[in-house]
């Protein structure tokens, strides 16, 4: 932006003003009130305020959760979700169009990866939701379509913009990044963002089972993962959240439950038990909320904090990638 300002015959400090206006949520360059009008006219010839087009919008009648399908400039589509919690409004952002991790239970990876999202496209999901739903967004979770650590540079830049005082001014502590377990990414993340929360999609308590449902587990074992998580807690003093989606007949047996408790006991962790969102293409079934509650009691009685995730938006294609697959109007897919 500084370079562009200089090219257009202005001082580089104008870039800071432009930056600040953009994240106030303006929709047009003319809204940048403290900039000289001649400069704004020149700027309009070279730049525009990027926005995402809403392709589909659904609101849950049950809990108010809103789901957006946005169109990117090249015609690809991504999903984002707005969830209303008592501590604030949370947006779940996508980091890639599609995903190449291939987890067997997930809708996002069914058609592979199309491309990484830019930092702008990631941040736009939040700005556009705030604008369209007329809400203030206080929390962001990187848990939509895509693997954040497969697009590290852009998610870093996005976190930078979200937390910059001239950007969205969010607290690092209100941001959570979820990974399927890319170990070098976890290491780098602990160094770069020690105040941002980390969630790990575990979904199985031994390597054989994990490799069956998550191809990434063939590259890094659970042991590699736990070492990286311990390093992360040593570095950051932050507890790691482990996500565990209960899939009938896959990872929901008593043996799985005991193994999970044994694996996590003594680590600074929290288990988020998720009743599986059923995606018809995968054929996998949820083990049910009652089973998730049994897992929770067992884990807690064995010294491992756990909670059962509230199922928000289950009436509006809540599982990752489902809306995108259903609408599938985006060209190039
Ligand atoms: N790629 C990242 C972030 C996106 S997925 C990751 O794997 O963590 C966000 C969470 O939703 C992950 O824990 C993922 O495993 C989980 N998930 C995917 N499909 C699901 C489904 N059908 N039901 C429940 N959770 C699912």
Read off the pLDDT of residues 286-309 as tens digits, 9 standing for 90 and up. 999 999 999 999 999 999 999 998
Q: Does residue 274 line the site of ligand 1, with CB under 6 A?
A: yes
The candidate with the shortest Cα–Cα distance to 308, out of 287, 293, 321, 298, is: 293
In a domain, 148, yes or no: yes
Q: pTM of this prediction?
A: 0.94
Ligand 1 binding pocket mutation candidate from 81, 83, 91, 106 (most atoms within 8 A of CB): 106
Helices 152-163/183-192 angle, 10° precision: 30
Atom of ligand 1 nearest to the CA of 147: 1
In a domain, 332, yes or no: no
Residue 113 sits in the same domain as residue 8: no
With bands split at pLDDT 50, 70 and 90, how would you rate the model's confidence at 333?
very low
Compute the distance from residue 42 Cα to the ligand 1 centre, in Å.
45
Q: Does residue 279 line the site of ligand 1, with CB under 6 A?
A: yes
Residue 15 sits in the same domain as residue 96: no
Rg (CA), the chain: 21
Residue 28 sits in the same domain as residue 176: no
| Owning domain of residue 63 | 50-327
In a domain, 120, yes or no: yes
The candidate with the shortest Cα–Cα distance to 187, out of 241, 230, 141, 140, is: 230
DSSP assignment letter at 141: E
pLDDT of 331 over the 50 cut: no
Ligand 1 binding pocket mutation candidate from 101, 103, 142 (most atoms within 8 A of CB): 103
Residue 2 sits in the same domain as residue 109: no
Read off the pLDDT of residues 183-218 as tens digits, 9 standing for 90 and up. 999 999 999 999 999 999 999 999 999 999 999 999
Residue 245 sits in the same domain as residue 285: yes
Residue 4 sits in the same domain as residue 121: no
Determine whether 320 is an active site residue: yes
Residue 133 sits in the same domain as residue 242: yes
- Which residue owns the Cα nearest ligand 1 atom 15? 201
Residue 42 sits in the same domain as residue 186: no
Contact between 94 and 115 under an 8 Å Cβ cutoff? The reply is no
Residue 118 sits in the same domain as residue 136: yes
Residue 88 sits in the same domain as residue 227: yes
With bands split at pLDDT 50, 70 and 90, how would you rate the model's confidence at 318?
low
pLDDT score, position 319: 57
Residue 7 sits in the same domain as residue 93: no
User: What is the three-class DSSP state of 15?
Assistant: helix
Q: Does residue 216 line the site of ligand 1, with CB under 6 A?
A: no
Contact between 200 and 270 under an 8 Å Cβ cutoff? The reply is no
Number of structural domains (the chain) is 2
Which one from 71, 79, 243, 294 is the annotated catalytic residue?
Answer: 79
Contact between 292 and 308 under an 8 Å Cβ cutoff? The reply is yes
Compute the distance from residue 177 Cα to the ligand 1 centre, in Å.
12
In a domain, 333, yes or no: no
Count of CA atoms in the C-beta half-sphere (13 A) of 225: 27
In a domain, 241, yes or no: yes
Determine whether 79 is an active site residue: yes
Read off the pLDDT of each residue in 242-254 and give the average, rounded to a whole number: 97
Read off the pLDDT of each residue in 241-258 and give the average, rounded to a whole number: 97
């Amino acid at each position: 932006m500084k370079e562009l300002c200089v090219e257009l015959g202005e001082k580089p400090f104008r870039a800071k003003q432009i930056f600040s206006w953009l994240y106030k949520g303006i929709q047009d360059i003319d809204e940048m009130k403290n900039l000289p009008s001649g400069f704004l006219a020149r700027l309009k010839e070279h730049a525009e305020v990027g926005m995402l087009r809403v392709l589909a919008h659904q609101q849950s009648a049950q809990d108010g959760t809103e789901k957006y399908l946005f169109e990117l400039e090249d015609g690809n589509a991504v999903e984002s979700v707005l969830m209303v919690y008592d501590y604030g409004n949370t947006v779940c952002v996508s980091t890639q169009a599609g995903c190449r991790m291939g987890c067997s239970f997930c809708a996002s990876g069914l058609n592979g990866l199309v491309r990484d999202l830019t930092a702008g496209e990631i941040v736009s999901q939040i700005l556009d939701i705030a604008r369209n739903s007329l809400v203030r967004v206080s929390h962001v979770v990187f848990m939509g379509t895509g693997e954040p650590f497969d697009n590290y540079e852009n998610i870093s830049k996005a976190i930078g913009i979200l937390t910059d005082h001239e950007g969205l001014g969010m607290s690092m502590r209100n941001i959570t990044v979820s990974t399927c377990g890319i170990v070098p990414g976890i290491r780098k993340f602990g160094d770069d963002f020690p105040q941002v929360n980390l969630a790990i999609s575990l979904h199985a308590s031994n390597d054989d089972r994990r490799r069956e449902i998550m191809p990434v587990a063939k590259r890094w074992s659970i042991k590699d993962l736990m070492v990286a998580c311990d390093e992360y807690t040593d570095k950051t003093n932050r507890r790691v959240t482990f996500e565990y989606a209960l899939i009938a007949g896959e990872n929901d047996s008593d043996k799985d439950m005991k193994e999970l408790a044994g694996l996590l006991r003594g680590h600074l962790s929290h288990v988020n038990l998720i009743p599986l969102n059923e995606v018809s293409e995968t054929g996998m079934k949820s083990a049910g909320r009652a089973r998730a509650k049994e897992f929770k009691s067992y884990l807690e009685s064995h010294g491992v904090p756990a909670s059962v995730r509230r199922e928000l938006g289950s009436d509006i294609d809540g599982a990752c990638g489902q809306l995108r697959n259903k609408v599938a109007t985006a060209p190039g897919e």
